[in-house]
Structure formats: structure tokens, C-alpha cells
Structure 1
Amino acid sequence: MTPHSLTVNRRPAPFGIDSVAPEFAWTLPSDAPPQLGYEIEVSDDSSFLPDDITWTSGHIKSTAPYGAQYAGAALRSRTEYSWRVRVHGADGTVSDWATASFETGLLHPTDWRAAWISHPEAAKKDPRSVYLSTTIELPADVVRARAYTSALGWYRLFINEHDITGTALVPRWTPFHNYTEYQVYDTTDALRAGTNTVGIIVSEGRFRGRLGAFSLPNRYGDRLAALMQLQLDLADGSTISVTTDASWTASYGRVRVADPKDGERVDLRIPELPWLHGRSDGAVSAMVIPEHRLMIAESVARVEQIGRRRGTLSRTPSGKQLVDFGQNMSGVARVRLSGPEGATVRLIYSEVLSSTGEIATGYLGGGSSKKDWFQRDEAILAGEPVEYTPGATIKGFRYLCIDGPADPISTEDVEAIVLSTPLPAISEFQSSDGRLNQLWHNVVESLRSNFTDTPTDCPTRERSGWTGDIQVFGPTAVQLVDADAYLRRYLRNLAAEQHSDGTIPPFIPSEAAVGISRNPLGFTRTSAGWGDVAVMLPWTLYQYYGDTTVLRDQYASSKAWVDQLALRAARKRGVRRRFRRGVGHLERYIVDTGYHWGEWLRPGETLASEMPGNFLGRRTSVATAYLAHSAQLLSRIADVLGEDTDSRRYAQLADNASTAWRAAFVTEEGSRIGDDRQDDYVRALAFDLLEPSQRDRAATRLAELVRQAGDHLATGFLSTPMLLDTLVDTGHADVALRVLLQTSAPSWLHAIELGATTTWETWDGYKHGEPEASHNHYAFGAVAAFLQERVAGLAPAAPGYARLRIAPIIGGGLTSASVSIDTPYGRASSAWSTSPSGAVTLTTEIPPGVRADIVLGRISTEVGPGSHEFTSSALEMAHGNP
């Protein structure tokens, strides 16, 4: 029963953390008895001698293999700690110790001795990357070396001939006005006795590069800069510190332009690392800049290479070389280029081809001042073969077009480098319908493409961290990958960017909106359904990971959001109070002012058709529903945290807002709601806004609307993720399956029929034969949660999967489905198949310490850990299936 898969702050053996109270977690073997308690020890030496132990938890009674928080002596900077855990089971059994480690970074601002340095000329209008370098003399007895590094822009760190950063895009996008992340590297093996060369290349990155739909540059500042502190431990116990300062050299090199959206322009005639070849362009002394930034350690694995793909070669009708990698993705291409010296070649990336077979980028817009440069790189050829990999940009693409006088390439000369945050996959889904399997795969690929340095809407056009997108997709993301630390980081950024009045920008980080959000119309300032991520995402993380820490960390932010929404409803009166009857004193709970995105992009709707209604207060029903829902969730959060007064207050607010919403928007006892659209009923039912007597009529009307639409969905961003679950929960599982398996637009399988390899922003994807909108948006991919929790049938019945509910939906012509998922307690699985007679066999695996409710036809039972099998006859299924 020895624990395994030990983590600290949700990462295995993290390197350079700056948390003063790290969190510990572990997993038990599948055959282990239930955990009843645990002990943890932390030591600054792996021998765990008594004098070295900095904390011992003692025997803690707990069944949860997570949530243990350090409470010992203050941790020291730059120190490697060992920690171990053993668990207590039934009958007094105690496991062996399981041991792991973590290393602290620079815990205090005074630990930093380095200065920010830049090129004296590297200001706003100079697009060139900055090259910074120095040489250092070292003794032979360096036993440990760590480089604590960051930049204002994306950087690459080199020591001698070693590429320390590799393919990583660092630092991540943060609210740079609030704080900047630094990275820690083990550089021991890169250094040698004698002379060493250290170099840093800094490019635009998210700090100075073009951001958002409007491709706004210089949102955080206009000067690229780097910061590095190289700490060397010698064999005699002494240390050497090498820092960025005015003694460094600043120059320019082969990278003449490097924008994260627009792309790179490079001169391949210049060596990649000029300081190793005695070459420099305009070398001068580096300039120290007076930056006093709050530095925090990165808390999530870096955006880096997670895979490679080879492609097939062809020519476009116009004769350009074309590579099809067979999969839409986020990343860059590595290409071996040759051709006439001084000639320019363009590398153009796209998700799709035009109807004529040419590369297509115009469908994305781009918003750049250089629209012919969007999603492309330019290389000046060296006259001899040179391998080129863009290092300071990222693209969304399946196709690569090589335009220019480059020599013909072979399949060995080009490959796609897939870039993403390397979050561990935790689940697998399979069914008898290959189209559903492809749909699930597409959702995973869209997640990978958009979970880069912040969760983005798409990897092409906007690349913004839209709050509405991650609000609806969060419950799916946490079932596909271990996203706990990643999404906690997003929430930390959200809290940092929350306005003083409690409103939340529609994208995080929000700096892409500066200059637009101050528009009198204020359409990028905040929106219901989007800002509610401040409440809904922490609740999602708690439900799937079980740890209350995120609720506490985000509690003030969650309260501020709900409080301001309630205040807006109480103090302001909109211009469109066209309710079917007066609501009297309840009007103070109706949110009817300000801009709201509303349901957003129902099938057939466009940006142009939606925006006027958003400005004119026509999204009141949506906004008020979210006030009621978030207030109810916040009441539950307060209850979990023991904030009883808050719990009662927000429960009352939720009740009042629900009552007001019903008075304003519900007629005919629930058979008519709002504008009588599918999403009106989905919200009403999913958010539990109706009286019990109204639910049946609302559910019946929802099913009617779906049937009237030919078993098609008619919902937008906010309600599509809830549609199928709502149909199932209200007794219409057959309708839900027909919508799921629909193949004509709007439907999920329509894109599959057209060969999609990721999920699309719109249901059509094409207009008049030409590509339209993004082909790599994860929002509508939230349906993958339905595949796992309903079709395969495995869902949490208590926070953190402490209890399971296994209740698969059988039907729709499917003959089998299965899912397995790594929970905080271990691997859980559900798999069912039908026989020719119609009988259904269900097999399950329940992890240690967990119980599960099994529902299959007329079978309804409870089981404990281990493997189980159930069979239900066709007759039993007919009378018992949801």
C-alpha cells in the first residue's frame, strides 16, 4: 500500500517553487486498502536525520490523499528538500515511506541581485530581437549551478553551445504590471572550468508583441529586457553569483522581427549564436533599466515541445510547396531551407486551404498592421542548407506553404513542432462509433492547442484568454488533463486583474483591451456569463480535485464579482424594461444595464447581428440568471469554508434573484420562458431557477424545441455545454442522443464528416465553400464531458471523486462505450457493451477508499473499491434506462 505519484503544489518534484506552504499529494496502489490517515516528514537532507527534519505532520486522520499543507520551519531559498509520506489503513496497518523532493527558488525580493538589462536602442519601434551576452571564468569545482531567469518579452538562454530553454516560450503571459514569472534551470552540466559564454536572446513575446483581436502592441511597455542570476555552489561550500548588469554586451543578430502572432523575419546568413562566432551587429554595453518588478516563480510547466509530426508534400495550383501535417495544432515548423543566397522565402501557416487549394489566412482577419505577414515567417536564405526553427512565435496550423525560391524539400526536411503546456493526460474514451471517438480526440487536440501560456480562445486570430470560453470548458478540461495548477494560475491572474469595483475583464490577462475598454460603450469591460468564471471555475476545481484551497484563495474575488453584479441590479435601471408584467420590488434583482455578450453565437447568428442587442440591454434574462446561479454557488462555497453568515446571505440573494427572474421571464407555468429559445430553457433547468411545478413544462418545451429544429441544437457558447445534460436530467435522454449523433449542421458530427481534426468556432466552418472563423476553438468541445460522464457513465458524486456515480446512457445505436480516468484516489473506469439480445454488461474499476453508486437499467446498487461486473437484460434495460 506504499503511496506513489507524489506531488508538491500539484507537480512532481517541482524545481524552484516560491510557496512558503507547499501542498502535498499522493496516490495509492489500486489494490491498497482505504487510507484512514497519513504522516508526512520534510527534511533538508535526504537522510531524514532528526536534526534535519523541518516539519513532521504527526498522524493526521484523513481519507484524502491530497490537501496536506506544509506547516513547519520557514523554508530557505535555493534549498532542496526531501519529503516523505506513509499512510495508515484499517486494522492499524502502516505503509512504507514514499519519498520525493522539491527545491525552492528565490523566496524573498532581497534574494535578487541581478539588474534588468537591455540594448540602449531597443525601444518601441525597433522590432529586432535583443542579443545580450557575457563571458565568465569559473573554477573546476562547481558542484551545482542554477540560473534564475526572466525577461520582458520571450527569451532564450544559452550557455556555451547549450540551448538551456530549448523550445520553451517563456516567461508566460501574466498581468506584467502586477508581477512577472521567472524560471529556474539546472545549468551544472552546461558549464565548464575556464571561460564560459552566457547569452540571452529577447524577443517581443506577450510583453511587447501584438495581442488580442486588435493586435495591439506594446501593451505593457516598449523596451525588451532580461534578468538573470546564475548561482554557483562550489565544493568547499562557497558560492559565486553571476548577474545581468552593465558589464554585459548588447547587440542584434539574425532575428530582425519576432512577434508571437505575426511571426519572425530572420537572416539565415548570420549564425544563430553570434557570440560563439566572434560576430556581433552593433555591439555596445548593455543598459541597466530601473525596473522594480515583483518576481514570482512559475507554478506550471512551461509551454514547450510536446510532440512532432511529419507531413505529406504536394504543390498548390499556383506551384508553391505545400506540407499537410494531417492534424490541426499549435506550434511552428522546423524546416531545412536552401536556395539562392539573399533570396527571401515565406513560410505561411494555416488551418485550412481555400476552395482553390491554396493556403488560406484571410478568413482569420489578423488585425495586424502587416496583414500580409499574419501567421507567417520570412527567412533570408544563406546559400547553403540551414535548419530553421522559429523560436519566438507560435502558430495555429495544419498546413505549411513555402513561398519563394527555396529548393524543393523532402519529407525529411520539414516537421511540425507541437507546442503546448505538457499537462498529463488523465482519461481515455472509446465507443463503438468512430465518429464520437474522433470528436473526443478533436476536443483533446483543441485543448492542447489552446492551453499554452494562458487558456486562449484560438491559436490563430485572437489568442486571448476569454473568460467565457474557459468558464464553459473548465468542467471538460479537468476530465481530460491534470489542469489543477494550470487553472489555479489563471484564477490568480484573474484576481490580480479584477477591477476595483469587482467587475472582471472578458479576457485574462486583460491588457489587450487597454484603449478599447475605456470606450464609452465599454464592451470589453465585463459581462455576465464571462465574469462568472470567478465563481464557477473555483467551484469546478473543487468538485473535480476536492481541494478547498482554491475556494479560499479565490473567495474574495468570487465575492467581489457577485457583489458588484447584485449592486448593479439594485442601483441601476435599464432602458428596456419590457416585461410581460410588473415585477415590483423584485426589480432590484434584475440585471438590465451594461454590455453583456449574452448567449453568444447561436447557430445562424453573427457578430454583426448580435452586437446591437448586447449594447441595448437585451441580454437581461441571461445576466439575471447568472446572478442567481453564481450567488447560489457562492453560498455553497461559503458553506464549505465555514463562512456561515456569507452562506446564508448569498443563498437569500440567489433566492431573490431567481424569484425576480421567474416574475420577469416565465409565463404559462414554465411552458414559455424568455424569448422561447432552447437556451432559455436550458439555463432555467440547469441553474434550478424554476419552481418544482414549472420544471416538467419547461423540460417538455425544451424537448419540443429540439424536435422542431430537426433534432438540432440551437444554443450558443453559454448553454451548449449544458444542453445534453439538461435533456438527460429531465427525462429526454433519447433526444439528447439524437442531438449528439446528428450529422448535419449545426451539430458536432458535421465537422467530423468534413474531416475536422479539432473543434470549430462555428458549426459550419465554411461559407460558400470558403473557410470561415477559427477551426480550433475548444468552447463547443465541452461535449467531451458528456461523452465521459453520460455516454460512458462515470462522474464524481462527491468532491474529488471521493464517491462515484456510474450510470451510462444506453441507446442511440451505440453498442459499447468506455472511459477511464485518473482521480485523486487512483484510476477509475466504466465500460459497457451490448449483446445481440440487447443485454448490457457493465464492468467498473473503483479506486481505493472510494465507493460508487451503480445505475444500470433496473440495477441500482452501491459498491466499494475493486473490480465489478454487472449484467442487465434487455427487458430490465427497457424499464430502467434513463
Structure 2
Amino acid sequence: ESKDANTQERAGACYIKEHEGVMTQRDIFMAPKDKPELFAEAKTTLFTSHGFRFAEVCCTEEPPADVYSVLYRTAFQEWGYFDSSNVNINGAYELTKNALNSNMQGTQTDCPHRERLQYGGDLVANSPSSMHMFDLSAFYRKVVHDWTETQFSNGAYTETSTWHDLLADYGFGEGSGETVWASLPPVLTVRHMQHYGDIDFVRDTFSHHVEWCQFLSSKFEKAIQGWFGYAGDNLEGYWGSENENGLGDWLSLQTIDTYLTHHAFYMATARSIAYMAHMLEKDGSADEGTSFIGKEARSLARKIKDHITTKYLNDNTYQVQKGWDLSPGPDLPIFTRMVPGKKRCDILRNWLQFAGSGHDESWHGDEEKLFMNHLSSKTSKALLKKKIIGEDEDGMLMNRRFRHSTSEGILGVRYSLKTLSDFGFHNIALTRVSGDNFPGFAYMMSFNATTMWETWWRSEDLYSRNHPMLGAVAEWASSSVAGVSLAPTTTGGKDLLFWPRIPTNADVVVYASATQGTKRGDAAIAWRFEGVKLKSARTVKVRIRILAPPGSNALFRLPIYGCAYNATATVSYARTLPGLDTAKLNAASTCSSRRKSKNGFSYNWEYNSETEKWHKSLNKKAIGTPCASFLFDKSLADTNWSDSKLVTFKPEVPFKRSFDGDESDKLVELTPGLYDIVIEQWKLQKEIPDQPGY
């Protein structure tokens, strides 16, 4: 028992007032009455599992000796890495990796300290980042089997891998989960095939996924009519949801669109079935029934896509009501190629009125209000000047600066960032992720976060602060900021895409690198601006290094937009592969020294209980520390490079370039090896200023 029965009521540093009694993690030691100091004789388990940043021992004059903690997770290989010159982007990646590392103990839990449940929606959202960082071939095979082994006889999958009667109103009855959450098994099986090429796994689980699709088809239309009542019209009067008919883009700061996410993941299930049937046909193990199922699934996916387009395509917008921005918005249908090609540019431009907007909105969250009520006048004025906070009739409120923050939820983080970077507006994605404003990753770190939060706001009583739900940012960092990923149509990770989205200016990132592990070995990329004072330069040299592993098919996509006009590029390859192991050791040692020097995130907010004021404390941290890639290590200076080949940019024909005379090919094929690519005269542009609309 606690020495002080009112400890929790006092709401101290550790014993906060609980929400429904689930927040505080306690270990209670029952010491002998005659010798209470003998912790060695305490009657309790000798091994407990918690998620925490610090531990408090109370009710004793001296803390017990020889108490230690061990970080542990399921034993799989870490094979994905990212780094850049930007502390905030690095920090977002590191928050995600730390959260994943502490939520992989036999199952992938949502948080390690409270619910500890394997939610389908969380894995739908962050498995691309997980599979970038780790070799999860065995782990994710087991995760899918967690669902197939508990699948109901009617074909229903649940929202968690074991049924807990959670969120039943969002499902289709009879044990099923919400569409997005319960569609994880077929979606993850397809991603597993793309990374690891395990056709036996597809064969073993195919019938289970078909049963889920059949169950979904039998329930879907009636459920949608019951939830929305808009089956036969153009959704007139529908302005989004507040979680009353689905989870959708869970915990977005924008109004969520569950009608769209229900349909999108019904379509994703059908597409996954069609893909798996096609893979079984290619393998020669498909019978006539499998081929028929694949054909029917393709037809169903097209039908759902056409239905969504009919409901949402509105002049040059792709949203339910013109001028009403929901989450997800047009980024989901653009990213998933639901938008007709000829309409894609117009819809993208209209969406950018919101996604690239410079306007601000106020956030009325409870914790943020309390924070501002306990600021000194001097601090308040400084934050007002920087537009981190704003002021209206309700007093001071936290600012949401759309151009410099992220506000999407569990699904929208991936769709918005990938759409911006893939379709020519990478600069906006960079400013949003790297921003210091609320809501965003820097805001989390400013309150000492070391793992990803469940919410953008600072929850003190309900939501988790170790929750990788918003971790799709990590896969975006490696694939877009650095530029390495699996090719979209690959199986077994054989085909690689190297596509660095080189920034249009040097304001946010001046170098980046990433490693993507595969069954065949590591694929790696690094790029940097070279040779000039970046703040005053109008043009700059870009150097890119690429490592393609043995047995891979590598495609290099040149970063083409206005900055590349009149630029020239040359490609060389290493005649003999240099000592990369030495380069890796050198780079790791240098990075370790930099992290020990705490060259990362530089401050945090501290609360003074005596003055009852928050103040900004300049405390350097390791998290977010920029480090250089091994591909630029000095030990590679003597590499024997081949003669260079010229890559020409065609300014009069954007998005086309020639390589050895072939103007129609947008991609450069690279055989396994090490490459050095130099782009001369890369034009730097001033960032478009903040303004309403883009």
C-alpha cells in the first residue's frame, strides 16, 4: 500500500489523476514487517515489463540498490536507417523507431505500458515504416496468422488480432472490426510478398482473406446505408464524421471522412485479393477457382473506385463538398491512383489550396490552454511574435500553422506527405515535417518526447506517449527525403527505386541518406549540396551516391522539375567495390561521438512548481543529431571510378530526359554496384512565402 493514501489525489509528478484507472504503472513490493528495508525479501515478481522514460521509487528513505532496466524486443534484424541535416526530420524518424522498438514483443502493440493490443489500423498505417527499418519476414508472417487463427467462422476479421469487443459499433456486426482495421491481414500479406517474396505464405492465407472479402461484400452496402444514408445521392449534406460511424483517419485535427476510408479499404481488400491471385497464377499453383476469384476481385475493386469517383469528383476537386477539407482529402485518391489521370493535376492544384496553405487556425486543446495560462508575459510575447501562439477573444491559444505543421491522423500522414513529394511539391512536405510549430514532431520533442505520441496534442491523462501510430513519416523520410525504396511492383524486394527528391532550396535540408535492407543485401543512397555558400548561392552542385546490392534490379529516377532546367548530370560507377565495411565503421564512430556531444534537438519546456510558470530551457539532446552517410566517408576517396556518362535534361519537355539517346525512358537502369552521380547547375529557388492558399 502507498504510505500516503492521497498520493494519487495530489496529482504529483508520477501519480497523476488517472483516466478510468488505467494510466499509472505500479510495482508494489510487500516487505517483511520486521525488516521493511530488505527489498531482497520482498514478495513480488522479479521481472516486470513497462514502457517508461523514468521510474520513481517512493515511500522509502533510500532507493533500493541494484535495480536496473533492460530494453528488449523480439529478435529481428534492424536493416533500415535514415539521416539528414535537419534535426526535426531526424527526430521524427527517431521517435518512430524508438516507439516501434518498444512495441515489438511477440506482437506489435499500440503501446507497451497500457492497452498492449495489436490494432489492425496501427499496422496498416505504420507497417511501411516498420518494414523499412526491420526484417520482419517472420514477425509479420506471425502477425497475419494471429488474425487468421482467430478469424470468425463467418469470415470476419476483428479490429485487434484477438477479439476484445472493442469499438463494435464501427464494425459490421458478428465479430467484425472497422473496415480499415480489419482489412490489415490481406493488406499486410501483399506488403509481405513485395518485401520478401514468400509465395507459400500467400498460398497459406489466401482462402482466409477471400472469406473476409466475401463477408465484407455481404455486409458493406447495408452498413453504409445505416451509417450514412447517402447510398443513392451525391453525399449532399455530408460534412464528414466525428468518429460516430468509423475510426477513419483517427485523431486527425481535421474533420475525418469515414465514408471515404470505409470504401478505400474495401477497395484495398479487393485489390489485395486480386494481387494474391495473380501471384499464385504466376507461380503456377492457382486453380480455376483462384483465377476466377482474382477476376472477380479486380472487377469489385474497379466498381468501388468508380463509385468513389462518382461521389467525390466535383468539377476540378475530389472532395465531398466543394471547399470543405476533410481528412483524408484528395491526397488518398491521388496517392492510390483513383483520380483519373487527366484530372489529376487540376485536383492536385485545388488540394494545395489547403495542403500548402499559409493560413493559421487556433487550437483549443485543454493542455495547451493550461500551458499558456502559465507563461510569463515575456515568454508569451516572444511566442506571439514567432506566431507559435495566437490571440483571440478567448485569450491566448496555440496556433496551427498549416504550412509549418502536420495535422493529419493515423492514415493521412502517409497520404499527404507522399502525395506532396511524389507530385512535385516536396518543398511543402519538408516545411510541414520540419516545422517547430504545433502540431508536429518538434512540438513532441519540446516536451522531452523520446517516442512517438498517439496524439498531436499533449495529453496528460488518456492518450499514450509511446505509440507509433503516426510513424508513417519514417518511410517518407527514407523514400522521399533521401530517396531509396522498393519499386512499387517488386516481389521479394528485388526491384529498387532510387528517387531522391532534391529540394528546391537549401532552407530545410542540404544532405540526406538512407539504407534499405533487402533479402539480397543493403541498398543505400546519399546526396548533398556541394561547393558553395548555400545561403547566397543561386545554383549548386548536387552529388548523389548509390549502392545497389547484388542480384537487384535498380532504377534511378532523376529529380526533375524547374531547378533542373539547364542542368547537366554525369554518372560514374566504381570499377572495383571499395571497402564499405571500413566506411560504415568510420561513419558509425563519428555519429556516435556527435550523439554523445548532443548535437540534436536543443531545448525543452520546463515547469517551475514554485513560480508555477513554464519556461524554455536550452538543453541539448542526442535525438535528431545529424550524421553523415558512410557513402561519403573519407576512406572512399581513392575509389576507382569509371569514365562518366552524360545525362541530359530537356527543359522544353518537363518530366522527360534522355540517357544515351533514349528520350522516352524516364528511368535509368543501374546494375548492382556503387555509383557517383553529379548534377551541375542545380538552380536554387526562394521558398514561396506563407500566404492563404498556394
**TM-score scaled to structure 1, two decimals?**
0.53
Instruction: Find the counterpart in structure 2 of residue 506 from structure 1.
Output: 159
Aligned amino acid, residue 338 of structure 2? L
Change (3 A) 1:503 1:665: farther
- Secondary structure of the residue aligned to 2:211 is helix
Note the 1:342-741 alignment, pairs <5 A. Answer: 358-362=13-17, 365-367=20-22, 374-380=25-31, 383-384=37-38, 386=40, 390-391=45-46, 393-409=48-64, 413-510=66-163, 512-513=164-165, 517=168, 525-570=176-221, 574-575=225-226, 579=230, 582=233, 595-603=245-253, 619-642=258-281, 643-673=290-320, 676-708=325-357, 710-711=402-403, 712-741=405-434
- Secondary structure of the residue aligned to 2:55 is strand
**Does residue 471 of structure 2 align to residue 781 of structure 1?**
yes
Note the 1:31-110 alignment, pairs <5 A. Answer: none
Corresponding residue to 1:743 among 431, 436, 439: 436
Please give the alpha-carbon distance, in whole angstroms, between the structure 1 residues aligned to 2:228 and 2:104: 41
CA contact (8 A) 2:271 2:297 kept: yes
Please give the alpha-carbon distance, in whole angstroms, between the structure 2 residues aligned to 1:493 and 1:462: 17
Please give the alpha-carbon distance, in whole angstroms, between the structure 2 residues aligned to 1:491 and 1:509: 12
Note the 1:70-469 alignment, pairs <5 A. Answer: 358-362=13-17, 365-367=20-22, 374-380=25-31, 383-384=37-38, 386=40, 390-391=45-46, 393-409=48-64, 413-469=66-122
- Secondary structure of the residue aligned to 2:108 is coil
Q: Number of residue pairs matched?
A: 502
1:835-868 alpha-carbon deviations (Å, 9 max, x no partner): 1432111111111111311223455522111111
Please give the alpha-carbon distance, in whole angstroms, between the structure 1 residues aligned to 2:484 and 2:176: 38
Please give the alpha-carbon distance, in whole angstroms, between the structure 2 residues aligned to 1:792 and 1:737: 12
1:877 positional shift: 8.1
- Secondary structure of the residue aligned to 1:552 is helix
CA contact (8 A) 2:544 2:677 kept: yes
Please give the alpha-carbon distance, in whole angstroms, between the structure 2 residues aligned to 1:857 and 1:464: 41
1:365 positional shift: 4.2
Corresponding residue to 2:543 among 841, 862, 869: 841
Please give the alpha-carbon distance, in whole angstroms, between the structure 1 residues aligned to 2:186 and 2:513: 32
1:751 positional shift: 1.2
Instruction: Find the counterpart in structure 1 of residue 494 from structure 2.
Output: 802
Instruction: Find the counterpart in structure 2 of residue 862 from structure 1.
Output: 669
Change (3 A) 1:867 1:806: same
CA contact (8 A) 1:526 1:595 kept: no
Corresponding residue to 1:871 among 678, 682, 686: 678
**TM-score scaled to structure 2, two decimals?**
0.66
**Does residue 475 of structure 2 align to residue 823 of structure 1?**
no
CA contact (8 A) 2:254 2:327 kept: no
Q: Please say which of residues 683-692 and 517-526 is displaced more in the overlay.
A: 517-526
Change (3 A) 1:686 1:663: same
Please give the alpha-carbon distance, in whole angstroms, between the structure 2 residues aligned to 1:818 and 1:875: 19
Please give the alpha-carbon distance, in whole angstroms, between the structure 2 residues aligned to 1:580 and 1:650: 21
Please give the alpha-carbon distance, in whole angstroms, between the structure 2 residues aligned to 1:680 and 1:655: 20
Aligned amino acid, residue 743 of structure 1? D
Change (3 A) 1:393 1:518: farther
1:406 positional shift: 4.8
1:398 positional shift: 1.1
- Secondary structure of the residue aligned to 2:155 is coil
Change (3 A) 1:355 1:782: farther
1:780 positional shift: 0.5
1:834 positional shift: 0.8
Change (3 A) 1:364 1:437: farther
Please give the alpha-carbon distance, in whole angstroms, between the structure 2 residues aligned to 1:594 and 1:556: 32
Aligned amino acid, residue 695 of structure 1? R
1:675-733 alpha-carbon deviations (Å, 9 max, x no partner): 53241212211222222233223212222112335223332212222221111222221
1:92-138 alpha-carbon deviations (Å, 9 max, x no partner): xxxxxxxxxxxxxxxxxxxxxxxxxxxxxxxxxxxxxxxxxxxxxxx
Aligned amino acid, residue 249 of structure 2? E
Aligned amino acid, residue 119 of structure 2? W
Change (3 A) 1:578 1:344: closer
Aligned amino acid, residue 328 of structure 2? D
1:594 positional shift: 10
CA contact (8 A) 1:522 1:595 kept: no
Task: Tell me the percent identity.
Answer: 21
Instruction: Find the counterpart in structure 1 of residue 552 from structure 2.
Output: 850
Change (3 A) 1:647 1:360: same
1:560-595 alpha-carbon deviations (Å, 9 max, x no partner): 2222222223556624656597379xxxxxxxx995
1:831 positional shift: 0.8
1:375 positional shift: 3.6
- Secondary structure of the residue aligned to 2:182 is coil
Please give the alpha-carbon distance, in whole angstroms, between the structure 1 residues aligned to 2:314 and 2:453: 36
Please give the alpha-carbon distance, in whole angstroms, between the structure 2 residues aligned to 1:519 and 1:596: 5
Flag the structure with more relative contact order, 1 or 2, with Cα contacts below 8 A and sequence separation at least 6: 2
Please give the alpha-carbon distance, in whole angstroms, between the structure 2 residues aligned to 1:374 and 1:357: 14
Q: Please say which of residues 629-638 and 487-496 is displaced more in the overlay.
A: 629-638
Instruction: Find the counterpart in structure 2 of residue 220 from structure 1.
Output: none
Change (3 A) 1:416 1:362: farther
Aligned amino acid, residue 800 of structure 1? G
CA contact (8 A) 1:677 1:705 kept: no
CA contact (8 A) 1:364 1:460 kept: no
CA contact (8 A) 1:742 1:749 kept: yes
- Secondary structure of the residue aligned to 1:377 is coil
Please give the alpha-carbon distance, in whole angstroms, between the structure 1 residues aligned to 2:557 and 2:18: 47
- Secondary structure of the residue aligned to 2:203 is helix
Please give the alpha-carbon distance, in whole angstroms, between the structure 1 residues aligned to 2:266 and 2:475: 25
Please give the alpha-carbon distance, in whole angstroms, between the structure 1 residues aligned to 2:47 and 2:212: 36
Aligned amino acid, residue 267 of structure 2? A
CA contact (8 A) 1:433 1:814 kept: yes
CA contact (8 A) 2:227 2:245 kept: no
1:619 positional shift: 2.7
CA contact (8 A) 1:670 1:695 kept: no
Aligned amino acid, residue 473 of structure 2? V
Please give the alpha-carbon distance, in whole angstroms, between the structure 2 residues aligned to 1:375 and 1:777: 20
1:360 positional shift: 4.2
Provide the alpha-carbon RMSD of the alignment: 3.4
Please give the alpha-carbon distance, in whole angstroms, between the structure 2 residues aligned to 1:363 and 1:704: 41
Specify every segment of 5 or more residues in structure 2 that has no aligned partner in the other structure, as ranges: 236-242, 282-289, 360-401, 533-539, 561-646, 648-666, 686-694
1:734 positional shift: 1.6
CA contact (8 A) 1:426 1:822 kept: yes
CA contact (8 A) 2:172 2:223 kept: no
Specify every segment of 5 or more residues in structure 1 that has no aligned partner in the other structure, as ranges: 1-342, 347-352, 585-592, 611-617
1:539 positional shift: 0.9
1:598 positional shift: 2.0
1:384 positional shift: 3.6
